[in-house]
Amino acid sequence: MATGSAQLATLHRVAGVRLGSAMAGIKKPNHRDTLLIELDPASSVAALFTRNAFCAAPVQVAKQHLAAAAPRYLLVNTGNANAGTGELGLQAAQASCDAVAALAAVASSEVLPFSTGVIGEHLAVDKLTAALPSAIADLSEEGWLTAASTIMTTDTRPKAASRQFQLDGSTVTITGICKGSGMIKPNMATMLGYVATDAQIAAPLLQSLLREAAEGSFNRITVDSDTSTNDAVVLVASGRAGVAVSADNVAEFAAELNALMVELAQSIIRDGEGASKFVAVTVSGAATIDEALAGAYAVAESPLVKTALAASDPNWGRILAAVGRAGIEALAVDKISVTLNGVTIVEQGGRAASYTEAAGQQAMAAEDIAIGIDLGRGSVSETVWTCDLTYEYVRINAEYRT
Amino acid sequence: MATGSAQLATLHRVAGVRLGSAMAGIKKPNHRDTLLIELDPASSVAALFTRNAFCAAPVQVAKQHLAAAAPRYLLVNTGNANAGTGELGLQAAQASCDAVAALAAVASSEVLPFSTGVIGEHLAVDKLTAALPSAIADLSEEGWLTAASTIMTTDTRPKAASRQFQLDGSTVTITGICKGSGMIKPNMATMLGYVATDAQIAAPLLQSLLREAAEGSFNRITVDSDTSTNDAVVLVASGRAGVAVSADNVAEFAAELNALMVELAQSIIRDGEGASKFVAVTVSGAATIDEALAGAYAVAESPLVKTALAASDPNWGRILAAVGRAGIEALAVDKISVTLNGVTIVEQGGRAASYTEAAGQQAMAAEDIAIGIDLGRGSVSETVWTCDLTYEYVRINAEYRT
């Protein structure tokens, strides 16, 4: 199941960034599971990784390589996360970089490895390296859509976004892809996202742009509150558009980047495992960002709220109960109001006088649900995106390894 | 679904405590939904309530009454939680106490109200009060088993425990009942528990005994991480056994009380909504209680771990991933080991050399699963009890109001 349209907009190529896919047969045969991304030598690269203490071998190797050199190649495999694999896993991640380096005549530290799939099984690095020549032969600036499909695991459809805009009189492009459907509560990043622009951006600025964009997008989504071991998001600036991002125009560029990353993050929720609803939980009237997020995540992660959403049941009591346990200091219950797709269901902490069950059910029948919670104690507002909890989620995750 | 045996041990009567059940037709007709518990005038009473900021009207009234007088009657209804019901809800809770007071010739403040059921609908207090005469007529020291059935909601079976032991040469009894199946992550108490002893215990000591026992029992369970609006646990000491609990024998008494409350708390997990597995998650080798609990709850509440448990899948990667996101400072991954029913599956942060998938699957086939996680950084150990996440949980909670 999934929500919204599966239709993707045109994916503009980004000069200086080429993508090639191949079939390595890591988990299943005859299926694209390997992606190589080649970056122009002049590119800047920024990246964010999972904060899970059990970060996967490729995450550890990618961090070391990033610290040592400017990346020229990103290598991604699906079907195996190479996480919880100890010393052998680190060797496998390093060996895959060595293989790319040998074929492409670059240093091994100029290659960043990424893996996604089952945790705790060893990566068949020989299969992966055997597929590299065909990935290299496939390298093309037109490769974005195929790349988006290649990195899918339990995703039911490819996820990508692209936009072009004018910056200082030049056309600038940003195109990105991502994957992720379960084990989704990114903490600094998502389960694999690759975004590239042809603007020229110095590495420190690129890193801060990525951090800010991730904070408002990938760090505001949750399918099941489980942070992955392999989350990573990479932002590349190839510099080929002939325009530089600087203090003068950074706000303009950041607005476009942030919007594109919100689009990518939302596409993960729309394709959340078993999802039949796309849900935006907004907590407003909060005193601080932390309490707004605590309230929004308590609602977005409540199994009782999520199963009620699956049943299109306007069970506002469960929403109040979730806000009530969010740990917000001295919460004044009688100041709280709640809306469902614009219908006021709770005011002053109790059922709204104007509320009817019929109006609530009509609001809940929609595929896209906006839950608005006003705490009435400040002016801060935060939104978290999530999906409902369905039979299908349980089926997918009970059967994942079989 | 539920796990373990539905068989209850003999429920010993507690001198000075009488229980009477009745049918008020609050949600469904011809169904016991109202319980009255009468306490000997010499009784001491201790109670703990939910920390959910949206605590229900009866919780607010019960707290006020407890502060004003020593309780003589506890009135419990199912079918309606009287939560999120504003001023009318408070009036309804007060009116139900007034009605008991009038019939029993006590002060209204000597009555404590408790409700459980749907949140956000108004309590039919007239139906409740109309059933009081038959509840009073039914009062008996033999009423424990019927009482345990009366307070059920989505519970599939009554929950009770009872024990007798010698204290200073006298026979002392402790008998208790509880209910709860969903919206279970008690925070100081559970979704309704009533425990009584005939020992004589002064109120301040009784409160500290209850707090300690709840901390190790009801505060160590989670079905779905959702803390209820109505949680309450009450401990009564009628004093009729002719023996007083004091500094000299309190350790003995506390050991019996704690064991009984663990038994009650575990019975809630065994009957957790949709449960097909009973799971004890023990984190040992922790540096502090907080980090042991953070790790244990991260695993016990992980939807991915819980769906793997439902499938009897020894997916230890999900266990590691949950521990890794538990926010434990500077966690050294390579010191961690994990066992499943005694089978070592992870050592030094990776798959154990001795581990085979067959051994893991055999361990997971059991109905009772013990997950042991040793962090290798200290000597603190904590256990949390939970159940798996099944289709049945989603069905129950998607259909609850229909």
List pLDDT tens digits, range B252-308.
Answer: 999 999 988 888 888 888 888 888 999 999 999 999 999 999 999 999 999 889 999
Does the interface ipTM go beyond 0.85? no
Please report the pLDDT score of residue A188 as a whole number: 41
Predicted pLDDT at B400: 61
Q: How far is CA B207 from the centre of its chain?
A: 17
Which residues are registered as beta bridge partners of A21? Answer: A35
- d(Cα A143, Cα A3) in Å, to the nearest integer? 26
More confident residue, A181 or B71: B71
SS3 A176: strand
Q: Which of A60, A56, A90, A76 is nearest to A131 (CA)?
A: A76
CA distances from A268 to A307, B114, B268, B378 (A): 19, 43, 36, 39
Please give the CATH architecture assigned to the domain spanning B278-398: Roll (3.10)
pLDDT confidence of residue A37: 95
pLDDT of A189 reads 45
Whole-angstrom Cα distance, residue B105 to residue B47? 23
**A84 to B318: CB separation less than 8 angstroms, yes or no:** no
pLDDT band at B44, cuts 50/70/90?
Answer: very high
pTM, entire model: 0.79
The pLDDT of residue A96: 98
B383 token code pair: 């256990």
Question: Six-digit token pair at A332?
Answer: 């004044």
Among B325, B356, B377, B401, pick the best mutation site for testing chain A contact (most A Cβ within 10 A).
B325
Closest CA to B384 of B362, B364, B369: B369
What pLDDT is attached to residue B185? 67
| Strand (E) or helix (H) holding A89 | helix A86-104
Q: Does B187 have pLDDT greater than 70?
A: no
Average pLDDT for chain B: 89
Q: Which residue has the tokens 């060797």?
A: A91
Q: Which two tokens stand for residue B394?
A: 């989603």
The amino acid at A110: E
Cβ–Cβ gap B119/A401 under 8 Å: no
Second CATH level (architecture) for the domain B17-270 = 4-Layer Sandwich (3.60)
Are the beta carbons of A391 and B393 separated by less than 8 Å? no
A190 versus B242: the higher-pLDDT residue is B242
Cβ count near B206 (within 10 Å) = 23
As a three-state string, the secondary structure of B20-61 is EEECCCCCCCCCCCEEEEEECCCCEEEEEECCCCCCCHHHHH
Nearest-angstrom CA–CA distance, A174 and A170: 13
Mean pLDDT of all residues in B120-139? 95
For β-strands A278-286 and A368-374, DSSP reports them as parallel
pLDDT at A85: 85
The whole-angstrom distance between B95's CA and the closest CA on chain A is 19
pLDDT number for residue B292: 95
Contact B318 A119 (CB under 8 A): yes
Q: Does residue A386 carry a catalytic annotation? A: no
Give average pLDDT by consecutive 10-residue segment, chain A, 402 residues: 80 94 94 95 89 86 95 94 89 98 97 89 95 98 95 88 91 90 60 87 90 83 73 87 90 91 86 90 95 94 91 88 89 91 90 90 93 96 92 81 54
Q: Would you state the pLDDT for residue A315?
A: 87
- From residue B157, give the alpha-carbon distance in Å to each of A402, B106, B118, B153: 34, 34, 19, 10
Q: What amino acid is encoded at A141 in this protein?
A: E
Give me the catalytic one of A190, A197, A227, A390. A190
Which range is least confidently modeled, A351-355, B51-55, B122-126, B234-238? B51-55
CA distance A88 to chain B (A): 10
Ranges of H-type helices in A301-369:
303-310, 316-324, 357-364
Domain ranges (residues) in chain B? 17-270, 278-398
Instruction: Determine the residue of chain B that is closest to A312 in CA distance.
Output: B398
What pLDDT was estimated at residue B349?
A: 83
From the list A83, A85, A325, the residue facing B52 with the nearest CB is: A325
